[in-house]
């Protein structure tokens, strides 16, 4: 299956990304990160990393892409990370690894959260197949000190804290 960048009415190329393309791209960038080709900055990668990502998509999926196509996809992933990660650090939210989306414990929790965040509602049911990989790629951009956590670490800590609070309420220990 060969896919290439299609032209829109305005003449700019756009690419419809599939879950498989996301898998290939995220694996390529994680590999490049592990080899030390990530630079400081949100979308800062050495040239060899961009070339490796382009080649991976071409070789594994038969897709001809540009650096700009990949930068656009990274911006989309970054938006997902910037919205979903803080959400997962709040009580009442967790990641559903079966459905690959945010899970909300109660409707009231969701309604209260979006009340002050008008741009968020469409994110509730969005499927993000490569959430763990997005966290790996973007978490270091947000880490600001010793207490910084990935979304997964925050999720685990939140569950542990909730269980601890439930035990304290049940047994009256403080």
76-116 confidence digits (pLDDT tens)? 999 999 888 988 998 999 999 999 999 999 999 888 888 87
Owning domain of residue 10: 3-171
Q: What is the pLDDT of residue 6?
A: 46
Neighbours of 70 (CB within 10 A): 22
What CA–CA distance (Å, rounded) separates 114 from 107? 11
What CA–CA distance (Å, rounded) separates 26 from 68? 16
E strands of the chain, at which residues?
3-4, 6-7, 13-14, 63-64, 93-96, 101-104
What CA–CA distance (Å, rounded) separates 82 from 123? 11
State the total domains in the chain. 1
Q: What is the pLDDT of residue 2?
A: 43
């Amino acid at each position: 299956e060969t896919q290439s960048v299609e032209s829109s009415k305005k003449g700019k190329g756009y690419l419809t990304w599939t879950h498989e393309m996301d898998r290939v791209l995220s694996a390529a960038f994680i590999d490049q990160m592990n080899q030390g080709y990530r630079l400081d900055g949100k979308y800062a990668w050495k040239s060899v990393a961009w070339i490796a990502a382009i080649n991976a998509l071409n070789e594994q999926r038969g897709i001809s892409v540009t650096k700009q196509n990949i930068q656009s996809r990274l911006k989309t992933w970054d938006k997902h990370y910037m919205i979903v990660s803080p959400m997962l650090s709040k009580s009442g939210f967790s990641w559903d690894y079966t459905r690959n989306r945010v899970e909300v414990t109660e409707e009231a929790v969701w309604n209260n959260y979006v009340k002050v965040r008008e741009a968020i509602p469409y994110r509730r049911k969005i499927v993000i197949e490569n959430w763990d990989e997005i966290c790996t790629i973007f978490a270091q951009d947000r880490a600001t000190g010793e207490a910084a956590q990935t979304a997964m670490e925050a999720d685990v800590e939140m569950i542990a804290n909730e269980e601890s609070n439930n035990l304290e309420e049940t047994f009256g220990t403080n």
